[in-house]
Structure 1
């Protein structure tokens, strides 16, 4: 029986940027270097199919000219890689602003999505991008959200709807990142409530990351929504995991394969969030291949055509080791062999 051809296997470029700071022992890693490492990975003759991009400096100027973007597309294609999902620069200090902030903040959030859609259009026309979504979050913190949970969720939902109109006009979809550091998205119940309030399931869905959603189960930043208690059994985990994935899977059309050791981590200006661990980390809490299956069930019917590895905030020395990427690729191939389709 032939191996599945979908989902396509992508590597994320943002681990070279997120939590990295110039002049420290973890400076940013260039887009070209990340492409080199991705393209060099190989397991039994199989390689990564593409990359997901972070649309901000120093990897991508969100205001780059059409010619500059085409040159970037040529560079990516020269490595035999495609482009999938794009991360819109929605945060204060980039293009955007808080989705629950001032009128100016919220307008800037929508502007960031508009700029991402423009870049997506150019990459699509070039031919290097044939699938994927635009990723967003609320660009604010749970502690700010706590001042007015209902009101702030309503503001975030309204901002997402405005951004979604822009995305739909460009033939794009938005995936909201499920991560404990984002306001109104910091628990599985908050995330579900936000998606339901946005109420645009064809355009605004969920981006599940295995490392981040594991912390949803434990209730970090939202203890009252925890589904697991310390010392849980495998049966406890299975039941809790089913509750969460059954609730969020219908909304899921972007997916990150990842591992978590049950702790939180943050570097640079990035708030503490789910710790991404190497695929073969002995302290990893997840059976990556098995748990990926719950998120990927029915994925093709939701338009999901690729999955992406997220090694966000890996130390630079780990990112620079080719063995790191070979191990990751091997894991992703196992996920596709178990849950893929043709």
Structure 2
């Protein structure tokens, strides 16, 4: 049986779209317990990807990494990719804001290094975005992009000192990253060997529809439910961004956008079994995990399920996590390898 890529669950869905103006945050320990309890035909999750966000984590606590290592070890899990909490300082903001952005990347890389030393992290990246809205970026596209490039380069140099790679998240709510063409342009300008792209099957599918960048739309409105047209559009996007892809999220999407709490609207994450989902999860993952000739790229050592802004009743159901695990297994069976 294929044992690569490793199968991970994400913990940030317990935070994203939650809070005072929405439903309560789901405790980290609850998410970890449900992840560890999931099982499909004897297969379990190999690990978790984590958002280093309060109240789940306090990066100012020197014992925080040890606490996490102890928790995941108890369940025989590993930690993969980390989400850096960079939103207190926009990558295109003031000099002080951009310094804060880079400092948060540094703290996240330090945290990741501790996890490696503790023996619970063997692969994965540190995820970043521009921490800037599309409308703000559009006030000065060229000037703002230049600032984001500079900030990303500074963050990349910091990450390199820790042997870390940074993955820019492909999501339509981040300025200069909100279309596939803008994303390619940004990565080319940053031009750092340790900076790549994080593909999310839900978020990046919205690239084909031109949300927030109609001039870069590929999939015609009348073809949004046509499988042939969807596959052609996915091929265009993945051919452009696959060479940059160093982190991959499996997800489902129904072609709509959604936001809850204070989170801006972005690609809707559907449940793995949602009948309205437009993606064939196992098949369409192959556009990212195989090259244009159909050969496995093996560019990622693990894949992660990402599903944000579900109701707490959905996320607190163990069946939800079993369904997610089943979807990940189907991807590994179709595009995995033995190692």
* Match 2:139 to one of 143, 147, 153: 147
Q: 1:239 aligns with which of 229, 232, 236?
A: 232
Measure how far apart 1:177 and its partner are: 0.2
Cα distance in 1, alignment partners of residues 298 and 83 from structure 2 = 20
Following superposition, the deviation at residue 236 of structure 1 comes to 2.1
Check the 8 A contact 1:252/1:302 in 2, yes or no.
no
Equivalence for 1:307: 303
Tell me which of 260, 269, 279 is aligned to 2:262.
269
Which of 2, 5, 8 matches 2:3?
5
Task: Confirm or deny that 1:216 pairs with 2:207.
Answer: yes
State the shift of 1:23 in Å: 7.6
2:110 matched residue in structure 1: 118
Q: 1:237 to 1:303 in 2, by over 3 A?
A: closer
Task: Measure, in 1, the Cα distance between the counterparts of 2:267 and 2:229.
Answer: 21
**What is the CA–CA distance in structure 2 between the aligned matches of 1:89 and 1:103, rounded to whole Å?**
18
Q: Give the C-alpha shift of residue 303 in structure 1.
A: 4.3
State the Cα distance separating 1:301 from its structure 2 match: 5.2
1:173 aligns with 2:165: yes
User: 1:217-240, CA deviations, whole angstroms, 9 ceiling, x for partnerless residues?
Assistant: 000000000001112133322221
Q: Deviations over 1:245-279 (max 9, x none)?
A: 00000000100000011111101111000110000
Aligned to 1:334: 330
Number of aligned residues: 333
Pairing 1:187-266 to 2, within 5 Å after superposition: 187-200=179-192, 202-232=193-223, 233-266=226-259
User: Does residue 1:137 correspond to 2:129, yes or no?
Assistant: yes
2:31 alignment partner in structure 1: 34
Q: Deviations over 1:34-91 (max 9, x none)?
A: 00010010000100000001112111111121x3321221111101110000000100
Structure 1 pair 23/272, CA: closer, same or farther in 2 (3 Å)?
Answer: closer
Corresponding residue for 1:14?
12
TM-score, length-scaled by structure 2: 0.96
Gaps of 5+ in 2: none
The alpha-carbon distance between structure 1 residues 300 and 13, as it changes in their structure 2 partners (threshold 3 A), is farther
CA contact (8 A) 1:48 1:81 kept: yes
Distance (whole Å) between structure 1 residues aligned to residue 189 and residue 7 of structure 2:
32
Counterpart in 1 of 2:319?
323
Match of residue 104, structure 1, among 87, 96, 104: 96
Distance of 1:183 and 1:302 partners within structure 2: 29
Structure 2: distance between partners of 1:42 and 1:238: 31
Aligned partner of 2:53 among 51, 56, 59: 56
Deviation at 1:203, TM superposition (A): 0.5
What is the CA deviation profile of residues 284-334 of structure 1, one whole-angstrom value per residue up to 9, with x for unaligned ones?
Answer: 010111110111115975641000000111111000000001011001000
- Report if aligned partners of 2:11, 2:28 keep a CA contact under 8 Å in 1: yes
1:75 corresponds, among 71, 78, 93, to: 71
Pick aligned residue for 1:279 from 272, 285, 297:
272
- TM-score scaled to structure 1, two decimals? 0.95
Residue equivalent to 1:88: 84
Judge conservation of contact 1:218–1:226 (CA < 8 Å) in 2: yes
